[in-house]
Amino acid sequence: MNIRRDGIPAIVEKHTAEAAEHFAPFSARRTFVIGGIALILCGMIWGDIFAAFILHPNANRIGESLLAATRAVAEHDPQAAGAAFQNIGALLENRGTKVDAHSHMIGFGYIALLMALLQPFVAFPESAKKFLARLLLVGATLLPVGVFLIHYVGMAGSPFAAIGWASVFGDFGGFLVCLVCVCELAGLWTYFRAPRDAAAPDNLLADRSWAARALLCGGTILVLIGFLHGSYYAGAYLFQYEARDRTLLSAMTTKAAANDSAGSEQAVADYGQLQSAKALNVAAHAHVIEFGVLAILLAFFQPYVFLRERWKRTWVIALLAGSLMLPLFVLLELRWGLIAGGIADAGGLLVIIALLAMLVGVWRYTGRLDSAAGEP
Amino acid sequence: MIDSRKVLIFGGLTLSIWGMAYGIWYAVFAEHQTLDGLGAALASGFMRAAENRMAESQAALADAASRSFVYVRQVDAHGHWIGLGLLLLILGIAFDRVGFNERARMFIALMLLAGAILFPLGVLLETWDRGLGPQVVAVVGSALVILGLCGTALGFARGNS
């Protein structure tokens, strides 16, 4: 082996030089990788806080308001029924905007990681790539923050009939992300249309380490499980649940109007159970696929995770275990209640910790790269 | 770059952009109006029941159920187009690791792309036609995606040096 005077093998020096070129400080790829993982982490932490502290109290308040509406029907008080539904509308908006902020932040993190992988194939100068990377992160932050604020800002000062300022800013954020994707597609198209010499190998796409293979294989299996569960749910329950939804709402009103308070209260309780079953099935389906996609994406970035092999394997196993635990125990909440909910939250926390550890690994890699290149 | 990778990368990115554009259009021009209408129909169902006007109450609840049916599918189409587009893009990046010849890889790639377009389209078509046709489109689309994914997983397991 060719060894330099300072003791660093020449092959390591060559690898570091190639990596420094692909992953330079403030480069588009580094911005996309760190920004993407940070977005996913923020989205997941927000999701865990939401699930633990907001979701269940919010569902209870919706149930109480529905009960108040049926009592208003029994007392022949239409104003009180209308007021109860205004309250339900506000609670649903509160829940919906928080779920949207959570899912969009994670989704945009995935897009950022994908863009990082595609950068060598985008035929733009580095300055344009950097601009697009920052623009995507601005849009990816603006949309979830705007959506989160919809419930609090409402229609204050808005010149539009149905859309408030928070929603306008959120939609603008979505437009920015969409615009960046169109530009990146144009860059890819230009790259593949232009005649060129054989492309330099990208070390991200060439990695065949244990961690990368485990994440790629595990991720594909998770996505497949999610698809099979989604198909089963859509085929066996979707239309059945929609019909039952309608039947129970009808039962609440007819029984309350006939002064059958026990019957109407039972219908409200059954309706609550039905909404739980729907929400838990959809959440399990969405989370297992999202975690599968995350695992596949992280498989590509393992060369940038500068940790000992033992720790890399530990975090891969933790991520895959958490990715299976969360959706499985979300489904089991239907039978085991809050105990399963707690285990599901622990699964989510495991994924967050593993992701955080990988981000630390990427951070350490950038530090090593920059010090080797003489950067501060 | 092999052609099957190009199909997945360009197809996936285009599908994701389409899903995002549809989502922006939907959020600006349809979502708030749909949710307002859904809430108003539900409230009306209970208020008419409180006034003992049961026929009107049931009609309002049926209207709410119909609006909910449409809303769920419009949001599903948006989410699934983007999600499947991103999945295609990711698989495309790793598709050289699928251990089949290029003809088989292209077949799997086209199956995945066709399924990713058809499945959300079928779901969206259900909002216009509640018959069997759109459901068949959605089922065929989802079957194509699942088969394509099984083929890809098998190809990853076989590996490609």
pLDDT in tens, B63-109: 999 998 999 899 889 889 998 998 999 899 888 888 889 999 999 99
Task: Tell if the CB–CB gap between A254 and B64 is shorter than 8 Å.
Answer: no
pLDDT band at A200 (very low <50, low <70, confident <90, very high): low
| Chain B environment of A77 (Cβ under 8 Å) | 50
Asked if residue B161 belongs to a domain, the reply is no
**In Å, how far from its chain's centre is CA B158?**
30
Q: What angle do CA B136, B140, B144 make, to 5 degrees?
A: 170
For residue A145, pLDDT over 90 is answered with yes
Residue A241 CA from chain centroid, whole number? 26
The alpha-carbon gap from A375 to the nearest alpha carbon of chain B, in Å, equals 31
**Chain-centroid distance, C-alpha A300:** 18
Q: B32-50 and A56-74 are packed helices; what angle lies between their axes, rounded to 10 degrees?
A: 40
Looking at chain A, the number of H-run helices and the number of E-run strands are 12, 0
The predicted structure's pLDDT at residue A373: 61
Question: Is the pLDDT confidence value at A209 over 90?
Answer: no
Q: Pick from A78, A182, A293: which is nearest to B87 by CB? A: A293
- The model carries a pTM of 0.82
Interface test with chain B among A65, A76, A85, A106, by most B beta carbons within 10 Å: A85
Among A113, A174, A177, A164, smallest CA distance to A143 is for A174
Which distant-in-sequence residues (6+ apart) come within 8 Å of A305 by Cβ?
A: A211, A312, A315, A358, A361, A362, A365
- Indicate whether B26 belongs to any domain: yes
Residues 252-291 of A with CB under 8 A from B: 252-254, 256-257, 289
A220: pLDDT strictly greater than 90: no
State the DSSP code for A201. P
Q: Six-digit token pair at A272?
A: 């609550």
| Domain of B138, in residue numbers | 3-155
Instruction: Count Cα atoms within 13 angstroms, Cβ side, for B135.
Output: 8
**Total domains present in chain B:** 1
High-pLDDT (> 90) share of chain A, %: 40
Q: Which of B6, B50, B61 sits opposite A78 (nearest CB)?
A: B50
pLDDT recorded at residue B159? 67
A83, A336, A354, A366 from A29: Cα distances, Å: 52, 44, 22, 12
Q: Which residues in chain B (34-93) have CB-CB distances under 8 A to chain A? A: 35-36, 39, 42-43, 45-52, 54, 57-58, 61-62, 64-65, 68-69, 72, 82-83, 86-87, 89-91, 93
Distance CA B32, CA A315 (A): 42
- Asked whether the predicted pLDDT for residue A4 surpasses 70, the reply is no
> Between the ranges A130-134, A348-352, B86-90, B157-161, where is the mean pLDDT highest?
A130-134
Which tokens belong to B119? Answer: 């499945």
> Is A257 within 8 Å of A73 (Cβ atoms)?
yes
Residue A308 backbone class (left: φ over 0; alpha: ψ -120 to 50; beta: rest): beta
Residue A206 pLDDT more than 50?
A: yes
Alpha helix ranges (H) inside A119-156: 126-153
As for the ipTM of the complex, it is: 0.81
Which residues lie across from A7 on neighbouring strands? Answer: none
Inform me whether the C-beta atom of residue B140 falls under 8 Å from chain A C-beta atoms: no
Residue A6 in this model has a pLDDT that exceeds 50: no
| Alpha carbons A71 and B49: distance in angstroms, whole number | 11
Q: What is the pLDDT of residues A36-87, one digit of tens each?
A: 989 999 998 888 888 778 877 888 888 899 899 999 998 999 999 889 988 8
